[in-house]
Chains A and B, each alone.
Chain A
Amino acid sequence: MTDASRSMLEVRDVTCSFGGLRAVDGATLTVEEGSITALIGPNGAGKTTLFNVVTGFCPCQRGSVRLSGREIARWAPHRIARLGMVRTFQLTKALSAMPVIDNMLLAAADQPGERLVNVVLRPRAVRAREREAREQARELLAAFRLERHADEYAGTLSGGQRKLLELARALMARPRLLLLDEPLAGVNPSLGRELLRHMQRLRAEDGITFLFIEHDMEAVMNHSDRVVVMAEGRVILSGSPRAVAADERVIDAYLGGKHVPLEEIV
């Protein structure tokens, strides 16, 4: 990391509870600009809920969320997405009954044709943006080796391809920060490696920052430059993969008390 002082996302003391259950209970973390940060923790630690809170899908009852310094806690999800923080979901949300290409075009930012007035009064501007977006979509689909499926319904893709589509689609929305919720879950190993390579490439080429939830420790240790560990709704630790893997608390909370030497994980 060249510019470690600039933070892309700052979460401070965020709380989110459902009924009596505090799924996120005062979580605090920072994602540096240009980093690939992994969020790990045992099941039920509140990782996905934290994603939901920072992206506006769950109510934030307390605390602050800042994206590039701007307070966005309690904003609606679509406004947060437009500000450049785009997420994917643990259970992939490919829009199955829409063609792959429409999935992509849907996500294109700044399409004037999403306003009824412009559909009627500015058809040229709408068509021009549509052409541009289509070209970009084709390029992305090619990069993710999905171009053959462009005109097929997204529901016909395999689970792994849907994950790729969701990532490619998120990129259409011009994100600065991408939140990926278990991008490797249910993906076969070779597609998984491809996904991780894409992450590295997008960070290098487009300067996109990543925060991803993952249980695959090999991917976490080899592909992230910071690891944040959650347990019981709080962030209990964050640091370099090496430091985190060696920490007693992580071994207790996450690896179930069984000491695993670092060499075995990495």
Chain B
Amino acid sequence: MTSSFALALGGLTEVGFWSGVGVLAGIYTLLALGLQINVGFTGILNFGQAGFMAIGAYAMAILVIDFDVPFLLAVLGAIGVAVAFAMVVGMSSLRLRADYFSIATLAAAEAVRMFAQNAQGVTGGNQGLYGFDVAWADASRQIEEWLSAIGVGDANGLLPLLLVVWLVALLAIVALRFLQRSPWGRVLRAIREDEDAARSLGKNALRFRLQSLAIAATLGALSGVFLALNLSFVNPQAFEPQASFIGFAVLILGGLASYGGVAFGALITWTLLEATRFVDLPLSDTQIASLRFVLVGLLLIGLMAFRPQGVFGKRQEMVLGD
């Protein structure tokens, strides 16, 4: 036990470890911010966030590789595709009850992944797609030069991505908070509380839910783009339903109805998930990989027992909600 602790501490003091965790936490902050606006503020149970993430990554990569679209335009295009997909899913299933809708989103996300796996001509199948990040590599080097000029640098070259992903995530948090404080955000909360009450007061609930889903799709697509940049390739395994559920773990840890909590939850979740890599137990790699989720699960169970509203959630909203 002593030796495993020493190993763990050794790993935890490396800058490379923390920049890796930071990038993943940033990516999942974006992903889970989308879940927050859906689940925490609109009351729609979106289990398909991984699908929007996949669409973001694939659409960006395909636009860059096959159509020579400049990177930033490709990102915008990818968001457009994800939003369009969200509208199709939303218009066909948002009228359903909340639990049916969640199943529909899960199925839609799986359909996206299956498509990516099997439409080899477009997506490269299980081999995935490479070579979409030339523009990013240039930008990344440029940022690294600036950083080294002020004496900051790291071994694995993740700092530029870390900075950009968190810049985008923080901008998203600020923008979402701004929207949430607006009369528009008030209608979302009313729909979360009681859709019929909102409708009886002249609010077109379907329109607001679709907008909420579109924003979630936008954030999901952005997280997918950053995931692709982080991995340097896109392949279907990255977008298993697991991604959505890690998003939910992040959401619940941080607390419902708090955007800042999402960032906190993402940092804790990914620290845990990544730190378990350093645990030196007589276990195989797959067993260690499962252990990561056991730990996150235990943490969530503990949280539910002692602080069910999450770290930053509001207790009153939870108790009075029903």
Chain A residues packing against B (C-beta within 8 Å): 55, 57, 76-79, 81-82, 86-89, 93, 95-98, 102, 105-109, 111, 113-116, 119, 126, 129-130, 153-156, 169-170, 172-173
List the A residue with the shortest CB-CB distance to B175: A120
B residues adjacent to A (C-beta < 8 A): 178-179, 182-184, 186-187, 189-190, 193-194, 196-205, 211, 316-322
Complex formed: what's the CA distance from A81 to B194 in Å?
Answer: 16
The listed residue (A78, A129, A155) touching B204 by CB distance below 8 A is A78
Residues of A within 8 A of B200 (CB): 55, 57, 77, 81, 86-89, 93
Complex A-B, nearest 3 residue pairs according to Cβ-Cβ distance, in ascending order? A155-B320, A113-B183, A93-B197
Known pairs A78-B201, A119-B178 / 11 extra A-B pairs, C-beta < 8 Å = A81-B199, A81-B202, A88-B200, A93-B197, A95-B190, A96-B193, A96-B321, A102-B186, A106-B201, A109-B202, A155-B320
8 Å CB contact of B183 from A111, A153, A173? A111
Given A87-B200, A109-B202, A111-B183, A95 and B194 touching (CB < 8 A)?
Answer: yes
| A98–B190 CB distance below 8 A | yes
Decide yes or no: A89 and B196 within 8 Å by CB, A126-B183, A155-B320 being known contacts: yes
Can you name the residue of chain B whose Cβ is closest to the Cβ of A108? B183
Asked whether A98 and B199 contact (CB < 8 A) given A105-B183, A111-B183, A114-B184, the answer is no
Residues of B within 8 A of A116 (CB): 179, 184, 211
What residues on B are CB-neighbors of A77 within 8 Å? 196, 199-200
* Inter-chain contacts of B205 with A (CB < 8 A): 78
**A77-B199, A119-B182, A130-B183 known; A95 vs B193 contact (CB < 8 Å):** yes
In Å, the complex CA distance between A98 and B317 comes to 8
A170 to B321, CA, bound (A): 21
Name which residue of chain A comes closest to B322, CB basis.
Answer: A96
**C-alpha gap A43/B90 in the complex (Å):** 38
B194 engages A78 (CB within 8 Å): no
Which residues from chain B contact A172 at a C-beta distance below 8 Å? 201
Q: Which of A115, A154, A155 contacts B184 (CB 8 A)?
A: A115
A129, B182: Cα distance in complex, Å: 12
Known pairs A113-B183, A113-B184; A78 contacts B203 (CB<8 A): yes
